[in-house]
Amino acid sequence: MNLEDVERFEELDEPEAPIENTNNDKESEDIGKYPPMDESQMLENTYASDNDLINILKSKKLHPYLRPTVQLLLSMKNTLKFISPSSPILRQLDTTGKLFLENYVTNLAMNMLDIGNKKFFLDYAITQATNEPVILYCLVAWGGMFLAGKSNEEAKKYVSKSYQLISLKRESFRKSEINEMVTTKSTKLDNDERIKILLVHILLFCAEISTGDVNNWYQKLLQCKELLDEYGGLKEFVKLNKHNKVAKWILSNIFYHDVLSTRTLGEGTLIPIEEYKIAFIGENFLNVKEYGLDPFYGLSQNLYLLLGEVASYRRILKNMKMPLPLNYEMMDGLLASTNERNYREIENSWFQIFDLQIQNSQPPKEMVDLLLKSDPSGKFLEHHLTWYELTQISLRIYIRISFKEIVFDDNEVQQLRERGLILFNILIGTKLQSLLGLSLLMLGITSVYDSDRSLLKTSYNRLVENYHIKNVQVCWGIVRQIWNRYDWQVNLQHPHYVDWSEFVNSMGWNCCFT
């Protein structure tokens, strides 16, 4: 199953009841003038070649029908001011490539990906693109995939160019490794080059996720781990890059996507969570004074570390629950009952510890002060604190339904869901809406009554009107299918519970709930 299956699944929704028009004919004319059709729908419904589609997007006649963000993208006022026009690299791009790059800058880095710190996706990425063709091609590819679809041939061409250059860099590494005369300077060069390669993989898996991919992105995350292993592991990477802000962003991004993958939520993090904790807590790698607001999860790093730890302990519990060997099963059952009792005691003990840690967590004071300083009105800080509380609620739901396997209609689960939905709705339309993937999943799969599902659907529709990253659609498709499975189990008088991560795995998916 892929994103197209999800989109077909979405079409199964019953149509909304038509709204009676009580106003005059002038409003009807206005509605006809601006049909409810966004740029992606126009692309989907236009039977034309890729080049023709790009020309359609460039047509000024089409501008009145496009969303405001796309009008800004195509406006002459919004030139690529972040890249010098005299840059020899920029001259390598044709008109389509420049359009794709401008889409990355305007629609992604300055809009969808901005939670209050644009330094990674905008300042650093664009600076690197000015001097490094492989980074430029990644940004162009991402902008193209997001504008015209991930199967667009022009966008795929830039993805291929990126991989070709990466292959050349990797080959140069192999040659240097067999050279016995490696100097300190060349080692430094290797570190810089490896960081660029890590950045390429990150940009490409972010592009895949944002356009609805449910598998390929994870292969690029695995390649990131392989590169970190070449350093000698996370510890050596941190040691070598202790004062390198770019390396800090890169590791934070890897952690963010690692901890939010389907595989991790079911099996534990790809890189052991203890290594992340040593880097972030023991080594204080993301020191607030040097690092600032995290561009991926804001001030909530401690909650994500807890999520990774919970997921890792869940894997341990699942391994403890393995069937007894045959010779034990032949005994009188006493050992089996003892093991089950011990298992439940351990499970409950860990659950209580994690639940208390989540409830007692607080954002770092230094980060709160930093946000307040950047916006003295306090509105931006209020949004971040709202999201922090929503993340706490999402994790408390997660440890109940995934760690302890409590039924979805449990009273406490439902109370948490109700509070979470209030916070979720507050954040729609703010910069923090780009972080609502995990919350949508937790609030969604625990919406077990028709009235609650209807409310959530209204919230989801508001979200996708404001936020066009297709990963949200993937998440919604999963929620809808979990509803079907849950209803089926209830009808058969089975437990009111679905192992949602196993269900997603059975679909052949490995999603990232950013």
Over the chain (514 residues), what is each successive 10-residue block's mean pLDDT?
Answer: 53 39 42 45 49 57 50 47 63 87 90 86 86 92 91 91 86 65 54 91 94 92 94 94 91 96 89 95 84 87 95 85 48 55 88 97 92 89 97 98 94 98 97 95 98 98 93 96 96 94 90 91
Contact 221, 205 (CB under 8 A): yes
The answer to whether 101 touches 137, Cβ cutoff 8 Å, is no
pLDDT, position 23: 44
Exposure b/e, 103-117, CB count within 10 A at least 16 = b: bbbbbbbbbbbebbb
Taken in order 77, 82, 83, 85, is the CA torsion positive or negative? positive
pLDDT of residue 91: 78
pLDDT recorded at residue 43: 46
Contacts of 319-322 with CB under 8 Å at 24 or more apart are: 320/346
Identify the pLDDT of residue 498: 95
Q: Distance between CA atoms of 271 and 176, rounded to whole angstroms?
A: 27
Residues 491 and 194 sit within 8 Å (Cβ to Cβ): no
| Residue found by looking up tokens 């460039």 in the block | 58
Q: How far apart are CA 512 and CA 514, in angstroms?
A: 6
314, two tokens: 């869940």
Are 280 and 294 in contact by the 8 Å Cβ rule? The answer is no
Paired with 298 in beta bridges are 294
Q: Which residue in this structure is represented by tokens 């044709």?
A: 94
pLDDT computed for residue 337 by the predictor: 57
* CA gap 412, 396 in Å, rounded: 10
What is the reported pLDDT for 504? Answer: 92
Question: Residue 261 pairs with which residues in a beta bridge?
Answer: 512
pTM equals 0.82
The pLDDT of residue 58 is 55
Q: Where are the domains of the chain?
A: 1-14+37-211
Distance between CA atoms of 297 and 305, rounded to whole angstroms?
11
